[in-house]
Amino acid sequence: MSLSFYHLLHLLGLILVFIGFGALFTPDSRRAMKWHGIGLLISLISGFGMLAKLGIFKSMPTWVWAKIGLWLVLGFLPVLCRRGILPARMVVLLAAAIGVVLAWLGYLKPAL
């Protein structure tokens, strides 16, 4: 598969992740959160596919590790909302901020 295919799949996964965050505001958020999990899985698989296509899978730079860490945070944020630790609005704002940092890391690939 081509790099552009993995890139589009990665974007689809991230769109689904943020649809899941929007589901935190619905009455049936538990059922709607499946999109969050599916999106996380798609973005993880396509992200590693892109790394393999770019030839940097074996020696991953620091920005990749930062993206993996932020991906884990995105996966855990809904749990903080569901347990009442953070309100849904705060979780969505944090997710949006993390999304911006993830995009910055992915497009600019800074040497951290």
* Per-residue pLDDT tens over the stretch 13-48: 999 999 988 888 888 877 778 999 999 999 999 999
- Can you give the pTM of this predicted structure? 0.86
Return the pLDDT at 33.
84
Neighbour-count burial of 64, counting CB atoms closer than 10 A to its CB (0-12 exposed, 13-18 middle, 19+ buried): buried
pLDDT digits (tens, 9 = 90+) for 39-70: 999 999 999 999 999 888 788 899 999 999 99
Q: What is the pLDDT of residue 112?
A: 76
